[in-house]
Amino acid sequence: MKNAGFWVAALVGIAIDRFTKLWVANTMELGQSLPAIPGLFRFTYIENTGAAWSLFRESGGFLKWISLVVALVLVAMALFGQPMRRWEQLGYGCILAGAIGNGVDRFMSGAVVDFLDFVPIDFPIFNVADVAINIGVACLIVGTFASAKPERE
């Protein structure tokens, strides 16, 4: 199968994202916090109509279309493009998982379910799809350096 790592990363990321968001939405009340590691980490259920750090929350819904376009481009790259290197497969697969995970929320309800909340730092609440996107970008960066060949003297 062409770009198998891409598909595995995407499917695993989508499954974990959907499962955790459904768990939060079905077991918690909006605004509720549950301590997981006291003083360090908690689950706090919020809905975000914007992007990262609630940017573009008054966007009128264009973010769902961006998620769709990103997902379609990545699927087309995996299906019709050249075979990807391992880090590219993992990176683009994770980015696809994040785009689909948050895109599904935006199309279904107009808001993304966020719930991962680190207590000691003033950092926005986020979700597994957001983590997948960041892991994907990190994989692409690692892949760029891993594929760079040292110059011979």
CA distance 65 to 75: 15
User: What residue segments make up the domains of the chain, in order of their start?
Assistant: 4-147
CA distance 35 to 25: 16
Note whether 31 and 45 are within 8 A (CB): yes
Count CB-CB contacts under 10 A for residue 151: 5
Q: What percent of the chain is predicted at pLDDT more than 90?
A: 76
What tens digit of pLDDT does each residue of 112-152 get? Answer: 999 999 998 888 999 999 999 999 999 999 999 987 666 55
Q: pLDDT grade, residue 1 (50/70/90)? A: confident
Residue 76 has pLDDT above 90, yes or no: yes
- The residues carrying an active-site annotation are 114, 130
What tens digit of pLDDT does each residue of 78-88 get? Answer: 999 999 999 99
